[in-house]
Amino acid sequence: MTVEIQNAPSKAKFYTGYTFTALSILFLLMDAGIKFTTNPHVVEAQTQLGFPMGLTPAIGVVALVCTALYALPTTSILGALLLTGYLGGAIALHLRVDNPLFSHTLFPIYVALFIWGGIWLREDRLRDLFPITSPSALPSPSKKLVRTGYVLTALSALFMLFTAIMKFVYVAPAGSPPPMFPLHHIHHLAYIEIGCTLLYLFPATSFLGAVLMTAYLGGATAVSLRGGESVGASLVPAFVGVVVWAGLWLRDARLPRLFPVRSAASR
């Protein structure tokens, strides 16, 4: 029997991590709870963002589910990942209406730093993967799994690069309705897609790239919902995100030990 020895984080890291986690959870619960009310600030914000008020309670439910997964130790990393997509949606909606950069558009990033920082300080295995992946001492997955993982990785990367290229070359036909995202930001989105994809493809930053792609795809989902697309069409980016993580999960033996559910022995 192989016995794994894991260095426990220092008490300072441990308590700081739980402090970050607790603050994140309190903020997320407040943010989700207020979406079930008719608070004038909520109505004003949703109107300014152009997001349908009828979808606001559903967004609150999504936030509560993601926060609950984040609060449970066995699913905390899965919860952090889902919250990353949720916060990416908030960034996209603020960017779409050109809200102030540091106080509005980047605010979800501040929250994400607390969310991930809380786990990162307590979890050695996450520090081995994020932001820079260290060499793994674990046995490699089977060749079949690795090949399947690389196929899924290639497909998701090609999709992201294709959508980025289209943003540089596409010209809307005359008389077509205005795009869901302002034209002056379209090239910025393409650069973000390319940057995230390159980080995802580079082995040392593959986990970081997948996290950033999750945030971007969450933004794409939010913008589609805001534009009146059907739920099915709006969830296409979420499906791409599943493929992104499946490719990484299959070819790195450390990921199955982190999420979706961690056993008591892996913490």
Number of structural domains in the chain? 2
Please give the residue range of the domain that contains residue 214: 143-255
Binned at pLDDT 50, 70 and 90, residue 3 comes out as: very low
170 and 248 inside one domain? yes
Whether 261 is in a domain gets the answer: no
Same domain, residue pair 94 and 150: no
Lowest mean pLDDT among 94-98, 105-109, 128-132, 259-263: 259-263
- Asked if residue 182 belongs to a domain, the reply is yes
The 8 Å CB, 24+ separation contacts for 174-182 are: 180/96, 180/223, 180/224, 180/226, 180/227, 181/92, 181/96, 181/223, 182/96, 182/98
Instruction: Please tell me whether residues 168 and 106 are part of one structural domain.
Output: no
pTM of the model: 0.92
CA distances from 122 to 13, 44, 125, 181, 193 (A): 6, 39, 9, 38, 30
Other CB atoms closer than 10 Å to residue 267's CB: what's the count? 15
Same domain, 129 and 149: no
Compute the average pLDDT of residues 201-209: 95
Average pLDDT over every residue of 3-30: 84
Phi/psi at 181 (5° precision): -120, 140
Q: Among candidates 199, 188, 203, 129, which has minimal Cα distance to 157?
A: 199
Q: Are residues 176 and 201 in the same domain?
A: yes
pLDDT at res. 177: 75
What is the pLDDT at residue 53? 84
**Which pLDDT score, from 0 to 100, does residue 79 have?**
97
Radius of gyration of the chain (CA): 19
156/245 same-domain check: yes
Last residue of a domain, one of 88, 107, 133: 133
Of 130-139, 206-215, 258-267, least confident by mean pLDDT is 258-267
Q: How confident is the model at residue 262 (pLDDT cuts 50, 70, 90)?
A: confident
Q: Is residue 7 part of a domain?
A: no
Q: What is the mean pLDDT of the chain?
A: 90
pLDDT(50) > 60: yes
Q: Which alpha helices (DSSP H) does 97-142 contain, by range?
A: 107-120, 124-127
- DSSP annotation of 7 reads P
Are residues 108 and 91 in contact, defined by beta-carbon separation less than 8 angstroms? yes
Predicted confidence band of residue 263 (pLDDT cuts 50, 70, 90): low
Residue 262: inside a domain, yes or no?
no
Residues 203 and 120 in one domain: no
CB 180 within 8 A of CB 224: yes
Question: Average pLDDT for residues 79-105, to the nearest whole number?
Answer: 95
Tens of pLDDT, residue by residue over 135-174, are: 877 777 889 999 999 999 999 999 999 999 999 998 777 7
Give the pLDDT score at 7.
56
Identify whether the C-beta of residue 248 lies closer than 8 Å to the C-beta of residue 207: yes
CA distance 66 to 71: 9
**Taking 90 as the threshold, does the pLDDT of residue 178 lie above it?**
no
Question: What's the count of helices (H) and strands (E) in the chain, helices before strands?
Answer: 11, 0
- DSSP code of residue 6: -
Residue at a domain's end among 67, 98, 133? 133
Does residue 2 lie in a domain region?
no
Q: How is 35-54 classified by DSSP, letter by letter?
A: TTS--HHHHHHHHHHT--GG
99 in a structural domain: yes
DSSP-based three-state secondary structure for 210: helix
Instruction: Look at residues 86, 102, 133 and tell me which one is the last residue of a structural domain.
Output: 133
- Give the mean pLDDT of 203-225: 95
With a CB cutoff of 8 Å and minimum separation 6, the contacts of 158 are none
